[in-house]
Amino acid sequence: MTMEERMKINQHDFVDNEIWDLIVNLYPARDDIKYDGNIVNQVRSVLLNYYVNQLKVCTEEEFYPYITKTKKK
């Protein structure tokens, strides 16, 4: 794995973990919430639209980088 790929994965992890923390912290009975990747994806999509298209503070690539698989030789 290249350093660039690692950095992109780290950004994905950061964004998804922050979103999940927000979801959990906004709900008072935190123990009842089970991780749901679909909900994280939905919230990420809303936030991405807000930061990229409305605020125009970053690009989609900066917010949640594209990860392409590299071919092994």
CA distance 6 to 12: 10
**All structural domains of the chain with their residue ranges:** 3-63
Q: What is the pLDDT of residue 13?
A: 97
CA distance 11 to 14: 5
Q: What is the pLDDT of residue 30?
A: 67
pLDDT band at 66, cuts 50/70/90? very high
Mean pLDDT, the chain, whole residue set: 91
pTM over 0.75: yes
CA distance 24 to 7: 26
